[in-house]
Amino acid sequence: MLYLYTLDQPERYLHLLRQTLPDEAVACWPQEVDAAAVTHAAAWAPPAGFFARFPNLHTVFVMGAGVDKLLQRTDVPDNVTLIRLTDAGMAQQMTEYCLYGVLHYQRQMDRYARQQQERLWNPLDTRLARDVRVGILGLGELGGKVALDLARLGYRVAGWSRRPRQLEGVRCLHGEAGLRELLPQTDVLFCVLPSTPETRHVLDAETLALLPADAALINAGRGSLIDEAALLARLDAGALRFALLDVFAEEPLPPTHPFWNHPRVIITPHVAADTVPEDAVQQIAANLHAQAAGLPLNGVVDRDCGY
């Protein structure tokens, strides 16, 4: 049996799963079921202890790209296979979110907004896409597509990842040396890395200082990637043009947080890329069929790597 837990559109997901998997038993929380019959779960942010009541659980489909919080739980045994969504409609949304931030920088919308407040009519110099250097931290399923999409639009794109990658039209760097090479050559930095012990505060006071004066930062990965105090210091000093932030160390962002009223910060409430139910269900179904046939699965989480 596949047991579903989601507070986001549960009836829609249940309908799609039953429609796509007519030969499978599918139930949705809070429906009572025989716990011993549950072998698969599809879930996003279930309450503590949720998985412990299923003694025969062997696969959990994570209904999102991030798995950091699931890996921190104590109710998911090590022998349970974790499978994350590898796109599910999120990659296109990530491109759109990144492109908005890049265009905000390229077309100097932040400066025109300030001029509007001052009732100042002052056309600024035009900057073309080929003159904008976009750096992308994270070249996985989402970041890789963003990099390729922006390169096709004519931007000068470079990307960084833990391991070596090759993407057509994208300058790919990796490792500590690669990060230190990338940052000083970046006008707009887009972060879409997963949250792992290795990526925590990858952007701290030291690495943020490597970005050129007048650079912009977009974070749509995880809040833990950035030392928020260090970012505030850079913004206060005018060392960064602006930061477009979708994720934060604490969510929802506390009302007293200085980001809310900072003139160089744009806030969105973790909406850069939402899971598309139809795409998510298709991925879950494809992996269920592959698992039953003994074929390779897509999106299996490496617990040691954290993604």
Q: What pLDDT band is residue 305 in, cutting at 50, 70 and 90? A: confident
Active site residue 270: yes
Helix locations, the chain, DSSP H: 10-20, 68-71, 90-106, 109-117, 141-152, 175-182, 205-208, 228-236, 277-292
CA 18 to chain centre: 28
- Tens digit of each residue's pLDDT (9 = 90 or more) over 178-205: 999 999 999 999 999 999 999 999 999 9
pLDDT of amino acid 216:
98
Residues 149-174 have a mean pLDDT of 97
Residue 114 pLDDT > 90, yes or no?
A: yes
pLDDT in tens, 244-278: 999 999 999 999 999 999 999 999 999 999 999 99
* Residue among 243, 242, 133 at smallest CA distance from 184: 133
Residue 26 bridge partners (DSSP): 2
Percent of the chain with pLDDT over 70: 100
Domain with CATH 3.40.50.720 in the chain: 2-88+275-292, 90-267
Q: In this predicted model, what pLDDT tens digit does every residue of 22-78 receive, in sequence order? A: 999 999 999 999 999 999 999 999 999 999 999 999 999 999 878 888 999 999 999
CA distances from 262 to 4, 21, 90, 117, 164 (A): 40, 49, 28, 15, 37
Describe the crossing of helices 141-152 and 90-106 by its angle, rounded to 10 degrees.
50
Structure confidence at residue 133 as a pLDDT band (50, 70, 90): very high
Distance CA 179, CA 177 (A): 5
Residue 208 has pLDDT above 80, yes or no: yes
How far, CA to CA in Å, does 243 sit from each of 24, 116, 232, 263?
A: 46, 20, 10, 10
Condensed to tens digits (0 to 9), the pLDDT of residues 229-245 reads 999 999 999 999 999 99
pLDDT of 108 reads: 98
Residue 304 has a pLDDT of: 87
162 is catalytic: no
pLDDT of residue 223 exceeding 80, the answer is: yes
Supply the pLDDT for residue 35.
97
Contact between residue 196 and residue 171 where contact means Cβ atoms under 8 Å apart: no
Q: Which two tokens stand for residue 222?
A: 């995880």
What would the CATH number be for the domain defined by 2-88+275-292?
3.40.50.720
pLDDT of residue 69: 86
- Annotated catalytic residue within 40, 162, 171, 222: 222
**Candidate list 15, 262, 270, 303, residue with the active-site label:** 270
The pLDDT score that the predictor gives to residue 306 is 85
Write out the CATH class of domain 90-267. Answer: alpha beta
What's the mean per-residue pLDDT of the chain?
96
Q: Report the predicted TM-score, pTM, of the whole model to 2 decimal places.
A: 0.92
Q: What is the pLDDT of residues 89-105, one digit of tens each?
A: 899 999 999 999 999 99
Residue carrying the six token digits 């090479």: 181
